[in-house]
Structure 1
């Protein structure tokens, strides 16, 4: 609303002042008096219109939210069905793998019993660096030097492995090794 500073001599200067401030609907003193009388009613009417517009917007947004919520629920149901089918296929694959594992174990047992003397089933530890005949066992002290063709280890380091492996030597070879070791111990 326009604020008028100073006295206005006539209706004409008042109208010029109002038009200068963008107020077009007041054309006479009666209009001004009517406006002053109906100001609070106009404010209340504007509030009611704004409230109604907000209520309509709220209702519209509620329907939009309900529609989007139903779309989201449909999308979630589709995703759930898709996950169930994928999990079912994964479960089938796991069952197939379990069957293969059991079948492989059965084949392993059958082959092991039929080929007792074939060395197919011994552990492979990679390429040998030093042959077993080039390992020297020391009873008490191991030198710190490293050699290219000979590995020197303490007997206590080897002892913990001996109990885990099947004997690979014949009885005659074991006796020969035992005699050599015993004679070495007696010579000390």
Structure 2
């Protein structure tokens, strides 16, 4: 539940700051894709850190028994979550980070299922249905970041290949003096 709260609270806070602060709005903070991107970054930073401190043993126990080296898998996924989180914040790596994090969410889902089916005395949010719903929300958030990034890259590529160059009047030089 904590990752969902980090995602939602950060997303809403960034969106609100962008909507009510013109300087922040100039940097796109008042748009949902940007706000969700920051929400995902915070969420994955927190969950990535939890792979090393706090919840490490619980995460190792979540790894299905048919997978090798549970401790190593938790370490690798923690590093990947941290790299993905920071990648979401850098323009050149955003689509790759979002795509990688989405793929990782899908690949790690069996650990969530394993916990839900074999764990004892689990809190309600570790049950199969709530965990599945949360994973779907996380994947939807990743897609809300990934799709606009892919569209923007395709648009920029089309603009370059069609030879269309846009310049402002001041950059074009003196006109009509």
Shared fold (TM-score, shorter chain, > 0.5): no
Which range, TM-score by smaller chain? Answer: under 0.3
Structure ranking higher on relative contact order (CA contacts 8 Å, 6+ apart):
2
Larger Rg: 1
TM (norm. structure 2) is 0.20
